[in-house]
Each structure stands twice: as C-alpha cells, then as structure tokens.
Amino acid sequence: VDGYLACAGLDALGDLDERLIGVYESLEDYAYEYVHECYDLQKTLGHLAHYFDYEAFARDLTLNGDVHVVQLSPFKVALFMSY
C-alpha cells in the first residue's frame, strides 16, 4: 500500500482495489500477458510476431504513465493503473 500511495498519492487510496492490475514476477511478464490477451500477433504480424519487443512495450507502459510499478521483492512487482 505504501508503494502505491507513493506513486499515486493519498487521494488514490479509495481506488486501490479498482486500480490494482495484479502481482507479477516482472513488468515484462505483465506486458506479455496483456499483449496475448488483447491482440492476435500471429494474425496481424504473421511470422514477424516472434520479433515483438515485450521489454520495450513494458517500458513504454511506465514511461507513458499508464502503469505504476511497486517493487514488492526482488522477484515480484505489483502493478496499478494510473488512471
């Protein structure tokens, strides 16, 4: 909770449950899951789908401010929607 409040501010405490995306091993793991649930890369990119850069996509999610990342442990992160 403290990490979330540090990112989102005290006013966001009431939205904590609604904004929680989940707990993952890494932001890149979430990016992989997100892309595969929302997009059919094989259909849109064909054999080029293997070259999709999940690491860059994950980085963009935070740089764009779409996702807040709270490091829970060396191998766990909690992810929150920023809006």
Query: To which residue do tokens 């992810």 refer?
Result: 79
Indicate if the pLDDT at residue 37 is higher than 60.
yes
pLDDT of the residue at 74: 93
Question: Does the structure show a pLDDT above 60 at 75?
Answer: yes
**What pTM did the predictor assign?**
0.75
Look at residue 12 and tell me whether its pLDDT is greater than 60: no
pLDDT, position 18: 81
Percent of the chain beyond pLDDT 90?
Answer: 54
> How would you class 51 by CB atoms within 10 Å of its CB: exposed for 0-12, middle for 13-18, buried for 19 or more?
exposed
Q: CA 32, CA 34: separation in Å to the nearest integer?
A: 6
Return the number of other C-beta atoms located less than 10 Å from residue 80's C-beta: 20
Model confidence at 52: pLDDT above 60: yes
3-state secondary structure 56-69: HHHHHHHHCCCEEE
